[in-house]
Structure 1
Amino acid sequence: MKITDIHAHVTTDPAAQVARARKAGVDRTVLLSTRIHPEAATTLEGVRAEFARLTAVVSGAAASVDEVRRATAEVIAALEAHPEETVGFISAPLVLGDTELKEWFDGYLRRPDIVGIGELTPAPNQAAGLEPALAVSADHGGVPVLVHGFAPNTVDDLRTYAALAARHPNVPIIVGALGGLNAMELIDLAVDRPNLYIDLSSALQVFMVKAAAHAVPEQCLFGSNTPYGDVLAARATVEAAIHDPGVLRRVLGENFAQLISN
């Protein structure tokens, strides 16, 4: 079994990022693009500036195609520098029309090192707008799609993700960061929707990780949410919460391996 971190935004130092994952016993890291680099800040003012940009992004501020292309280029460079230890998910400018969005995804999904779509971050209460991306996933055999799950996304967004999963039963939808403050609702939704997966990164309470793994052990996935979380700490949290060796193996790698082998 390969231990896989399914949620890691590429940092300004991918070599150090991969080394940190290796120290945590992680065999494979799923790299995601980002336009925000709080790990590069050296002062409180710098962190504040990066988080102001992050707040705009997760609140739905549209990114230009050039901005997303530059962020994607960071991921591609890291994948090519570390081909044995990384794979990637591909995001997209959500301002694109359906045809252009499909062309964008199609171009990247031809690469063997791109194994999914994400992280997609709709504006609050706008999760339904991600449906064209799910259609692309279906066209590519149902590659996993990672969506933002933390605030400012709302509980209604989580319910919309579940409704989208019901309309696209062959598309695995991974809700990021355990749904934030709405973790209990997310677990309930996943119980009723087998293609709705839970990324355990950025868990606010260890007992929520335990509850998720107990309720839907085949739908939980290990992630760190680097640089907002740390891969060593994330693994320690999962291992503190899950005591059944079989479930722990599933969460740390077997579930994701099954997703990308379908």
Structure 2
Amino acid sequence: MIIDLSCYPTKIPDLAWRHDGPPFTGERLLKMMDGPFWVNGKPRRIDKAFIQPPQGNTIYTDGMGNLTGREAIRDYMAYTVELVQRHPDRFIGCFVYNPRYGTENGAAEIEHHAKEYGFKMVQLQANMHAYRPDRALDWLRPALRKCADLGLMVKLHTGDGPYSIPTEFYPIIREFPSVPFIMAHFGVQTGGVYCFEPYQMALDTPNVYCESGWCLQSRIVEFAKELPKEKILFGSDTPPNEPGMWLRLLEVLCHEPPQGLNLDEDTLEDYFGNNVARMIGIEPTPPPRTKEEAEAYLRDVKASAEAA
């Protein structure tokens, strides 16, 4: 099973990144997820994706358009909710928490989205929302208490200074040991390459996990040698990225050294999605053993979708 942790479908332009072309809608994302992507000589698809609004569309604009507090939060989350309800077999909701809309408002909306729509994850984007996570602990605690109570994963945008350097999240991570924290982008983004920080944090801290996307290929080989296999999770950051290149980043692990490390396909499948499936209560599935088996699976899921 392949599960992508980081996808951002939208029906309006990303207000921060201003990507070229028409909005990257849920329909475009589904078409991309269907691939096929070739992994170890077998055609694959991305079975499920965590989706959320583009971060630029969650920047604090309280009062604009006469929307405030929880109403404003529901407005920026609305398209994600629509897609999760329309495609529950493919999309899993990720709530974006911006404390500037009110910490209690955000915590209440985390609960609402988890209980009403089955959301399984919450994202923190300290850079886009302009707060320093190791100092703004009172802004984060209401949300993290709710995540701990509800059993939600928390994804941390990392890789940018000044507010998304991975170790800046250590105080809140240590305060909530029951919450799984996922270091999105493996500490690599527009602001720098901090990939050794998430790696070392995941080695030292039981509740820290690393999303594979954006990491350097040679570093992921080094890190996979030492990290427990449940600690590496697939995410593509689509858009702007294309998911196939990040599947390839992990597929290389099955190659011979020095580019790979002769990884077995069952562990690769754990990285691709089975690790996350276990974390959210979905039954993991084995990888296809042959090209024919992979082709038959794609035919079956396509026929089921057409019949629905």
TM-score scaled by structure 1?
0.81
The alpha carbon displacement at 1:210 in A equals 1.9
Within the candidate set 178, 202, 205, 1:170 is matched to 178
Cα distance in 2, alignment partners of residues 6 and 139 from structure 1: 22
Q: In terms of mean alpha carbon deviation, does 207-216 or 19-28 score higher?
A: 207-216
The one-letter amino acid paired with 1:137 is: C
- Residues 137-172 of structure 1: CA distance to partner in whole angstroms, max 9, x if unpaired? 1111x31011111213567x4223233222211100
Do 2:73 and 2:101's aligned partners in 1 also have CA atoms closer than 8 Å? no
Do 1:172 and 1:195's aligned partners in 2 also have CA atoms closer than 8 Å? yes
Do 1:201 and 1:234's aligned partners in 2 also have CA atoms closer than 8 Å? yes
**Which residue number in structure 1 is paired with residue 214 of structure 2?**
202
Cα distance in 2, alignment partners of residues 239 and 63 from structure 1: 41
Q: Does 1:69 align with 2:81?
A: no
Q: Does 1:27 align with 2:32?
A: no
Answer 1 or 2: which has greater helix percent. Answer: 1
Alignment of 1:6-25 (within 5 A): 6-11=5-10, 12-23=24-35, 24=37, 25=45
Root mean square deviation, CA, Å = 2.3
Report the 3-state secondary structure (helix = DSSP H, G, I; strand = E; otherwise coil) of the residue aligned with 1:84.
coil
Cα distance in 1, alignment partners of residues 97 and 61 from structure 2: 9
Matched length = 235
Q: Does 1:160 align with 2:180?
A: no
The one-letter amino acid paired with 1:234 is: W
The one-letter amino acid paired with 1:27 is: D
**Which residue number in structure 1 is paired with residue 91 of structure 2?**
86
Report the 3-state secondary structure (helix = DSSP H, G, I; strand = E; otherwise coil) of the residue aligned with 2:126.
coil
Give aligned-pair identity as a percent.
19
Report the 3-state secondary structure (helix = DSSP H, G, I; strand = E; otherwise coil) of the residue aligned with 2:177.
coil
Q: In terms of mean alpha carbon deviation, does 169-178 or 77-86 score higher?
A: 77-86
Q: Which runs of no fewer than 5 residues in structure 2 stay unpaired?
A: 11-23, 38-44, 63-68, 255-261, 283-308
Cα distance in 1, alignment partners of residues 271 and 102 from structure 2: 36
- Residues 123-142 of structure 1: CA distance to partner in whole angstroms, max 9, x if unpaired? 377113333321111111x3
Within the candidate set 154, 157, 160, 1:148 is matched to 157
Do 2:233 and 2:275's aligned partners in 1 also have CA atoms closer than 8 Å? yes
The one-letter amino acid paired with 1:258 is: R
Q: Which runs of no fewer than 5 residues in structure 1 stay unpaired?
A: 38-56
Q: Looking at both structures, which has the greater relative contact order when contacts are Cα pairs under 8 Å and sequence separation is at least 6?
A: 1
Structure 1 residues 174 and 35: alpha-carbon distance in aligned structure 2, compared to 1, 3 A threshold: closer
The one-letter amino acid paired with 1:250 is: D
Cα distance in 2, alignment partners of residues 213 and 18 from structure 1: 29
Cα distance in 1, alignment partners of residues 102 and 84 from structure 2: 28
Structure 1 residues 232 and 116: alpha-carbon distance in aligned structure 2, compared to 1, 3 A threshold: same
The alpha carbon displacement at 1:228 in A equals 2.0
Runs in 1 of length 4+ with deviation above 4 angstroms?
65-68
Do 1:162 and 1:196's aligned partners in 2 also have CA atoms closer than 8 Å? no
**Which residue number in structure 1 is paired with residue 204 of structure 2?**
192
- Residues 54-107 of structure 1: CA distance to partner in whole angstroms, max 9, x if unpaired? xxx8xxx63435664333111112212222111111113311433222212111
The one-letter amino acid paired with 1:161 is: F
**Which residue number in structure 2 is paired with residue 238 of structure 1?**
250
Do 1:200 and 1:221's aligned partners in 2 also have CA atoms closer than 8 Å? yes
Cα distance in 2, alignment partners of residues 35 and 250 from structure 1: 28
Report the 3-state secondary structure (helix = DSSP H, G, I; strand = E; otherwise coil) of the residue aligned with 1:229.
coil
The one-letter amino acid paired with 1:138 is: A
Report the 3-state secondary structure (helix = DSSP H, G, I; strand = E; otherwise coil) of the residue aligned with 2:120.
strand
Q: Does 1:213 align with 2:224?
A: yes
TM-score scaled by structure 2?
0.69
Structure index of larger Rg: 2
- Residues 234-259 of structure 1: CA distance to partner in whole angstroms, max 9, x if unpaired? 11122123541232121111210121
Do 2:55 and 2:125's aligned partners in 1 also have CA atoms closer than 8 Å? no
Report the 3-state secondary structure (helix = DSSP H, G, I; strand = E; otherwise coil) of the residue aligned with 1:6.
strand
- Residues 29-53 of structure 1: CA distance to partner in whole angstroms, max 9, x if unpaired? 110112548xxxxxxxxxxxxxxxx
Do 1:161 and 1:173's aligned partners in 2 also have CA atoms closer than 8 Å? no
Report the 3-state secondary structure (helix = DSSP H, G, I; strand = E; otherwise coil) of the residue aligned with 2:116.
coil
Within the candidate set 116, 128, 131, 1:111 is matched to 116
Report the 3-state secondary structure (helix = DSSP H, G, I; strand = E; otherwise coil) of the residue aligned with 1:89.
strand
Cα distance in 1, alignment partners of residues 274 and 268 from structure 2: 9
